[in-house]
Structure 1
């Protein structure tokens, strides 16, 4: 791989961070590991492994030869493979075939509770030590080390960077102890109970209530209706060590367990490690009978209504059929592909109507097997305003039309082309698919009782179906008719004000005659790339120079456009294209609300020249072309991940967007409606208030970063949108980045005839207002939410700095923030059980001279707000008063160093690091200096950094509290707020 030479150079700069892990393990294993409570039985002789490929039993799918399989004598199964993406990493998954659907009524939440308890302590690791053990191996808790519980499974996840045989073996040993013998005692249950309750309390209330209502309505009469993995406060409060242990012993058994290893190691070695660490595990008691998840019950109510002002008005409809196990065969998958194209075709028609100004903002159709409980055709609708009855009728009309009359072959071919492109892309990029992704794919396949295979084999299944003539108007018509028939049809409507008749109205709307409402189908003419507006004369190259140590080139064109080029095949089949232009968010008006907020929602959708978004969809059909817009601090950008064949046209697409933008008014109206539909959600929870207000408040109310109020959104017109954005698309310097599987001379020529054909631009930026941090407050700024009375949030922040010249300082602040975060996590979550997700982050804008900040926040109960501030200030004061220990610093630096090494093997990392580097070469040095900067951080350096920034007279605080009257909170955002 082209990156390996550079990555290996950086490794040499990490002697203190990436030392041999075997030495680290031996240093910590003896003093930190207690004698096991009950010794894990070790096999007396080599384990006899059944090497049958158990995944493919009953299937004629071509097995993926990279996966090797085995079954141990105790029934535990494994799947292992070699994968070197990223280099040195090994992904481990331990899947237990047990989730919330296995719980009895009094056990609701126990599957998830056990997931928590396994990380507290287990056979080989004392209480609270698992996180530290893996941190010393270079993992980041919460991303590299994690777990999840669903209705049908519990999965323990570990992505081990810089893996050695010793660290993998040690990790498998720890995981074996976690699943076979977690420390489920009265002490641990009582200690973790507040944390689990805090997790449930901090979930976004409106979304949880909607999810609960949908499950209760759609799966009425089945277990899934009342089996949220989080459980209930009542069952969690009543949980005992004996009860939780009983659930564990019943369902955590080797024959219900699969260990998956995918990474940069010998598969046979991994198999032997699994056998050595898991073969001695024996289940307790008799095997449990599989619970009956039930079938859709047609006798249950058809409709229900929810009153949730914190969510947009919406309608969700499902057609349910019993879930049955199907052998994962070629023909089964090919029939599913026909069904998939049928749903995609309907969703496209619905989207076309929404763009044209329908009664709904968004609508889509999907087909899924849900938690082994039902096969479900789902329809989701977000109406314009509160007109949900009209929106439901209009969507039903489109579906009815699709069931009555076949599509054209051109429509079918359009959906096939996009699907073919997606699968072909998987084949072309298979060599660079991450090992963690492959492990997750295997886990998902096991959960849905299907197989997984290579992208090449999957693509062959699709092409074979095409050759068989399976994708025709007639086959999609038959599929559409089939997937909209079931044993039960259910629907749920969410409204903003109580209406006792809403459920009855919904039931009536489901039966209403919709004939004639579909209107005439829109026939989309073929559109070629040549329909894009013509560009000017290609530019010539005026300068071409190598970028030292980074294997890149910087190219300057005669019209002033600059190119940063990185031709490499490390990610075969992928090309990253990004075009930075203009001056970004800092250049927006600082004295008033502007339409900057609408750029992401409407700018791309507004078309190019005379081509609207429908035309552009047709132009990009079957190709890897797109337009992703981003409003950055110091620049705007357009870009996409494309292919070696398509990137020249991607450059042409972006150049045409900048040169001759379209100004279709419909996307502006839709953007306004979308923004207003979601606005009430800001008030519904502490998270919502923070997402609306914090960015503006931390910049002293600056409207460039503040969320606009409802009136400002409603007042936006298409003409005002155009007046604002048209000059911004045409101003400021243009920087093009092309990273990936390209040839240098060809890429330079492609940029020259596209972005190089733009008119020269003035690179001088406008005068911009400074960014100010809010003044210190003696009492927290208070905002209110209208959600649950048990929910609150607290924020404390300190100003820092900005600019590339302070990059070393920014990295010291990153380390300081992580140390702070770990301490806050330990004390606020693990010791006090007051918050599930406290965090501390440092934000340092590289492209701006000011605006940086270090921010700590946590969701808590209202009575813990003062405690959060007191604890945060105690931690800050301690970081100022005394240096951290060597071990604490190592547990932060090692994961950060490993994260850098992994990320630096991918193009996207360098693309993000080097945005703007052609104008500011200091960014090249900043990208190269990361290892040196990290290694230079010592306890004394970190203490000096804390002294400089964590000053009590500079901090700013905010609390989000429930309204005493439970009513709607103020919708104001970004202005000054009275202190409480």
Structure 2
């Protein structure tokens, strides 16, 4: 279950944007998550006020005579590319009631044409560059800013073209009246629809959390205001607020800064400010005494969420002492976050998800926010009391010295990792930091300064300081309590007074937190196995090791990330070897056993033992394989290997954990009744798997029949024979360093040499054309998937052609389906598998007006038929070839690419050396080959799956 957007609505994000049909939450990229200051700053060497942090000397900043600010930094990650950003210090908060939605509207109009770029030219140019076209992908609007961003090749011609486009967005949008009318109708309809259930909840809660101008200025605006917009209205707002003294240009990339500075002067120096200049309005969010409680429900919202939000004055890092305070806050977040997250990992967990942190927030304020998801109304009291107890425990008793020292070490390790990787920081990260500096004056002293400051000062932080910080941040003043739930649960929810009563009760009778001591996972190392064979593949820099128990290991040493080793393993089998009767038990096995601890340690102990470590080992059992996935920093590799060994040799079963999973699953069944997306996808999966019993939605009867003993037995059976397993290690190690760990912890695993494999259960959709329509929810847009599928000869020649078809369909559908035809957000995804049998899927997903579904489907199929009949546009084929080649070159420097690719080629019995020949094989992709591929795979086996609003 993905809670990310909903649960982090307040706690993790700082800005509400309009990156989609309605307001979304967009996380700031200004700084690494570990701290509030930026990893890369920028500053020219010039005098600063006493104690004020100077700007990173690697960044050139300046201001043109017209007031436009610029930031320039040379950076070769990625090589030959540059990130260009236009930041406008104007967002929705400055709109009047009659202008609500206008800032976002102007952002959309920027893609409808400018003085030097027509809409079609914009589309062609951005697509050619590999930038997604559209106002929701290359730009965003928040309360306080509107940002446009593109990535361009770093040669002089393309850089100048990119700056010209940003200058056109900065001052030369044309506001064609016909385009204005079309766009305002689209945005008015989106505002009227109210968006998703999440969005509609925001409309209820924002005025409470943002009790100011911010609370009534969602960037999406209002239908009534948007309908009044004219070209003159938009141009007036644009002229008034899109002006050089409120704008910044950020350029980071593989270029000569002096040359780029001259380009900025030439492209932006002629821009003029309006006369007279209107002062930019400034809004803040006033503090509210005491606690405000809000219980809200929404039809279609699938979760029960409890949130505590404590608002604090905004803090901006400007001085060294501010950095020290940001380190304290980082440590606070680690400790309190771990305590809340631990509540999800204990047997009979009172919450299914939990997070807690202090962070920057919208409305010129910071918040300490704690959020928890519960098992519906029945688990709410326990959840509220558990979360409140932990917060109150921290407020009253503070933290332990051992917690503090672990957090210090963890923070220092993260900083050291960032410092070690400072030459690999992507340009986009720097650009986000400089954007943030322009908007808030947040310091950007640079990674060298920050690293040295951390090393020299983190040891000074005392437990008394941390306890005082906890007492200040965790308070019942200026506090908001939110309870959000499905509308169907309204009658089962507590009142606001009951919520406060539960919280008061939870604050009584508390004792200080006890931090358990750590011990290794294994008291003694197992008897080491032996390396039977070691062969080096010099073509791709891989060592292939076979141990004397039959275990096979693929080693790929790299220096791409100093603090990363990726770990994976697989063996054929999976749940295909479980009977239909035992499938539910088998399907839960890895989740439950993987959260029941290992060896002699229960999960609660394991969680605490890992507090000062940075690794993860997770067992899995898929449809046709079982294995593990994980990662480790080099210093924790032995601990990771011990845990991995124990999952094979001494897994634990815990009845409380099993019961907790079953209870959560039952609660999930209840929630899914209200979630249109879940019901829709359940239907799609049922069809795709031929209505096989194990592909049908889970029932309470199946959960009641499931058994921990069967799950545990199935898990042990799947991991009983290590000789069938292949392990892959990718990252910062040498072969000589890692072989002793492999011999000890993998060479000692049991092996029976049974050469087991998976079963082909024939889970495939019926042949021919199938239409399934689900009526659920109230969204006025229909969700549609056209799924072409069939048998497939899995090989690289076919794979590369399907990859090309995917890219070209995406380009064509976005370009051909003009706005105003009732079709939105087309997206094409291709997948193909070899096991248990060769199958492919081409899924074309899009939204359509609910009253226009038949026409929309016919239009989409018509566009597909054009490619089948006429072939692709040649430039689209060449674009795919160029983009795929660029991507592969970039992937060669990513651990994740090698980890996944080496694992996959091993499973599919492919030659891994061919990973290097992909770029040469792109020559096989031609206009004719794509036409042939379209005709071969976009045939009569077609599933049309449609989600419609409920009939009234």
1:304 aligns with 2:312: no
1:743 to 734, 741, 755: 734
Give the 5 Å matches for 1:182-193: 182-193=173-184
**Contact residue 826 and residue 846 of structure 2 kept, 8 A:** yes
- The alpha-carbon distance between structure 1 residues 418 and 399, as it changes in their structure 2 partners (threshold 3 A), is same
Residue in structure 2 matched with residue 844 of structure 1 by the alignment: 832
- Confirm or deny that 1:771 pairs with 2:763: yes
Please report how far the alpha carbon of residue 143 of structure 1 lies from its aligned counterpart in structure 2 after TM superposition. 12
1:62–1:675 distance in 2 versus 1, CA, 3 Å: farther
Quick one: which of 794, 814, 837 aligns to 1:825?
814
Match of 2:57 in 1: 65
Contact 2:59–2:72 (8 Å) recurs in 1: yes
Secondary structure of 1:136 counterpart: helix
Partner residue of 1:905? Answer: 893
| Whole-Å separation in 1 of the counterparts to 2:105 and 2:578 | 48
Other-structure match for 2:328:
338
Q: Does 1:107 align with 2:99?
A: yes
- Consecutive unaligned residues in structure 1, runs of 5 or more: 1-49, 966-980
The yes-or-no answer on 1:653 pairing with 2:640 is no
Deviation string 1:438-493 (CA, Å, 9 cap, x unpaired) is 3233334444541234334323333343332x231x22221111112375222121
Whole-angstrom distance in 2 between the partners of 1:591 and 1:802: 30
Q: How far apart are residue 755 of structure 1 and its match?
A: 1.5
| Structure 2 unaligned regions, length at least 5 | 1-41
> CA shift at 1:856, angstroms?
0.7
**Structure 1 residues 923, 598: closer, same or farther in 2, change over 3 A?**
farther
Partner residue of 2:851 out of 863, 872, 881: 863
Instruction: Pick one of 542, 551, 554 that aligns with 1:552.
Output: 542
**Aligned partners of 1:677 and 1:423: how far apart in 2?**
40
Question: What is the distance in 1 between the residues matched to 2:767 and 2:451?
Answer: 59
The answer on whether the counterparts of 1:86 and 1:902 sit within 8 Å (CA) in structure 2 is: yes
**Is the Cα contact below 8 Å between 1:51 and 1:70 reproduced in 2?**
no
Structural RMSD (CA): 3.1
Shift of 1:957: 0.9
In the alignment, what sits opposite 2:709? 719
2:754 is matched with which residue?
Answer: 762
Please name the residue that 1:958 is paired with. 945
Cα distance between partner residues in 2 of 1:633 and 1:200: 42
Q: What secondary structure sits across from 2:215 in the alignment?
A: helix
1:772, CA displacement in angstroms? 1.3
For residues 627-638 of structure 1, what are the structure 2 equivalents within 5 Å?
Answer: 627-629=617-619, 634-638=624-628
Moved more, 165-174 or 367-376: 367-376
Counterpart CA distance in 2 for 1:566 and 1:294 is 52
CA offsets, 1:779-815, max 9 Å, x none? x211222333x13211111114446x42221221222
Hey, what does 1:238 align to over in structure 2? Answer: 228
Partner in structure 2 of residue 33 of structure 1: none
* Deviation, structure 1 residue 839: 0.8
Q: Distance in 2 between matches of 1:152 and 1:927?
A: 45
- Give the counterpart of 1:209 among 192, 200, 204: 200
CA apart distance, 1:607: 1.3
Assess, with a 3 A threshold, how the Cα gap between structure 1 residues 471 and 784 changes in structure 2: closer, same or farther. Answer: farther
Superposition pairs of residues 175-574 of structure 1, within 5 angstroms: 175-196=166-187, 205-220=196-211, 222-298=212-288, 302-308=292-298, 310-323=301-314, 326=316, 328-354=318-344, 355-386=346-377, 387-468=379-460, 470-472=461-463, 474-485=464-475, 488-496=478-486, 497-499=489-491, 502-506=494-498, 508-509=500-501, 512-516=504-508, 518=510, 521-531=513-523, 534-535=525-526, 537-547=527-537, 549-574=539-564
Conserved in 2, the CA contact under 8 Å of 1:92 and 1:262? yes
Q: Name the CA distance, whole Å, in 2 between partners of 1:519 and 1:582.
A: 50
CA contact 1:58–1:327 (8 Å) conserved in 2 = no
Deviation sequence 1:535-555 (CA, Å, 0-9, x none):
3x3232223223363122222
Distance 1:863 1:518 in 2: 58
1:8 — aligned with what? none
Per the alignment, in what secondary structure is the counterpart of residue 348 of structure 1?
helix
Which residue of 131, 137, 140 corresponds with 2:129? 137
Q: How many residues align?
A: 904
Whether the aligned pair in 2 keeps the contact of 1:431 and 1:572 (CA below 8 Å) is: no
Q: Deviations over 1:115-145 (max 9, x none)?
A: 2221222122111322311332344557996
Partners of 1:862 and 1:685 lie apart in 2 by 18
Provide the C-alpha distance between the structure 2 equivalents of 1:880 and 1:795, rounded to a whole number of angstroms.
Answer: 19
* 1:281, distance to aligned residue in structure 2 (A): 1.4
Please point out which of 872, 875, 898 is paired with 2:863: 875
Cα shift at 1:638: 2.4
CA distance in 2, matches of 1:596, 1:288: 67
- Displacement of 1:758 after TM fit? 0.9
Answer with 102-111 or 685-694: which moved more.
685-694
The TM-score with structure 2 as length reference comes to 0.88
Report how far residue 870 of structure 1 moved. 0.3
- Secondary structure of 1:836's counterpart equals strand
Q: CA deviation at 1:93?
A: 2.1
Distance in structure 2 (CA, Å) of the matches to 1:624 and 1:807:
37
CA distance in 2, matches of 1:738, 1:385: 41
State the secondary structure of the residue aligned to 2:280. coil
Equivalent residue number for residue 32 of structure 2: none
Distance in 1 (alpha carbons) for counterparts of 2:511 and 2:709: 30
Contact 1:176 1:278 in 2 (8 A): yes
Change (3 A) 1:168 1:876: same
Structure 1 residues 495 and 152: CA distance shift in structure 2, 3 A = same
CA distance in 1, matches of 2:599, 2:515: 20
Kept in 2, the 8 Å contact 1:820–1:875? The answer is: no
Q: Evaluate the alpha carbon distance shift between residue 447 and residue 551 of structure 1 in structure 2; reply closer, same or farther with a 3 A threshold.
A: same
Counterpart CA distance in 2 for 1:314 and 1:773 is: 37
Q: Distance in 1 between matches of 2:757 and 2:532?
A: 23
Would you say 1:812 and 2:801 are equivalent positions?
yes
Question: Is the CA contact (8 Å cut-off) linking 1:83 and 1:263 kept in structure 2?
Answer: yes
Deviations along 1:287-340, whole A, 9 cap, x unmatched? 3323242333537982222123523222222222343x6452121222233234
Deviation of 1:634 (Å): 4.1
1:661-693 alpha-carbon deviations (Å, 9 max, x no partner): 222334434434444445555455654444444
Report the CA distance between 1:942 and its aligned residue: 1.0
Distance change >3 Å, CA 568–CA 787, structure 1 → 2: same
Most deviating of 790-799 and 341-350: 341-350
Alignment of 1:562-601 (within 5 A): 562-584=552-574, 587=577, 589=579, 593-595=583-585, 597-598=587-588, 601=591
How far off is 1:419 after superposition?
2.4
How high is the TM-score relative to the length of structure 1? 0.85
Tell me, yes or no, if the aligned pair for 1:201 and 1:791 is still in contact at 8 Å. Answer: no
**CA 707–808 in structure 1, closer or farther in 2 if over 3 Å, else same:** farther
Structure ranking higher on relative contact order (CA contacts 8 Å, 6+ apart): 1
2:22 is aligned to none
Q: Is the 8 A contact 2:832 2:839 kept in 1?
A: yes
Deviates more, 1:190-199 or 1:694-703: 190-199
CA deviation after TM superposition for structure 1 residue 609, in Å: 0.9
CA gap of 1:567–1:322, structure 2 versus 1, over 3 A, is: closer
**CA distance change for structure 1 residues 383 and 590 in 2, over 3 Å: closer, same or farther?**
closer
Identify the match of residue 791 of structure 1 among 776, 781, 784: 781
Q: Residue by residue, what CA displacement relative to the aligned partner does 1:605-624 show, whole Å, maximum 9, x if unpaired?
A: 22111122333334333332
* 3-state secondary structure, aligned to 1:727: helix
Contact persistence 2:61–2:71 (CA under 8 A): yes
Which digits, 9 at most, give the CA deviation of each residue in 1:347-381, with x for residues without a partner? 33333344243543333322123124322222213
**Deviation per residue, 1:745-774 (Å, 9 max, x gap):** 222232122122211253320333123133
Mapped partners of 1:267, 1:352: distance in 2? 48
Distance (Å, rounded) in 1 between the aligned partners of 2:252 and 2:627: 36
Tell me the residue number matched to 2:24.
Answer: none
